[in-house]
Amino acid sequence: MRRPSEQCSGGRRGNRKGVETRASKIFGILSKTLASDLAADLWPLTSVSAYSTLTSLQRKRYLFVCINRRAEENPKGCCAAKDSEEVYRALKGEVAARGLAKLEARVCTSSCLDQCATGVTVLVEPDHFFYGRVTVADVPEIVDGLVKGQPVKRLVVTAGSTQWS
Ligand code: FES
């Protein structure tokens, strides 16, 4: 079976020969055999999957804000019509302003999360719950909840609460 990096043609991830070449350049004073051994040791760190794991900044939490838009006459309605794009921008800005964007939380947009009746919808992962009826005014409290590791209970959509009053 081919290693992921063998499937790449060139590029910075290259193949083992490329790693050997780079090791030889970096450690020019080493013998070719030693450079080859060093390249073999580095191999796991230069494969595509390891490269991706080492360089990706996986956050503790991901907040998906639905920005789905439907035609005005559609009876399902949509989050975009309830200002979800403003909620998204406010949430992203607040997370960044509090220094949480690099490691703690990433705010992303989403298409319909099938919680339209209680939109604006925000899906929180990996906790796996929805916030519903979110407004820009709720954003500071939601980010406080991220810092404390506690959801804002009044905004959590629970089973049977799709028809909140
Ligand atoms: S349109 Fe946002 S959850 Fe369906």
Structural domain harbouring 19: 4-52
Query: Taking the CA atoms of the chain, what radius of gyration do you get in angstroms?
Result: 23
- 53 backbone dihedrals φ, ψ, rounded to 5°: -65, -40
The residue-averaged pLDDT of 58-66 equals 96
Q: What percent of the chain has pLDDT over 90?
A: 60
pLDDT in tens, 44-55: 555 555 555 544
Residues 153 and 125 reside in one and the same domain: yes
pLDDT in tens, 141-154: 999 999 999 999 99
Say how many Å lie between the CA of residue 94 and the centre of ligand 1.
Answer: 22
Give the number of domains in the chain: 2
Residue from 64, 114, 120 whose mutation best tests the ligand 1 pocket (most atoms within 8 A of CB): 114
Pairwise CA distance, residues 90 & 103, whole Å: 18
Average pLDDT, the chain: 80
Residues 12 and 85 reside in one and the same domain: no
Residues 123 and 145 reside in one and the same domain: yes
Q: How far is CA 137 from CA 59, 63, 69, 134, in A?
A: 24, 17, 21, 8
Residues 146 and 116 reside in one and the same domain: yes
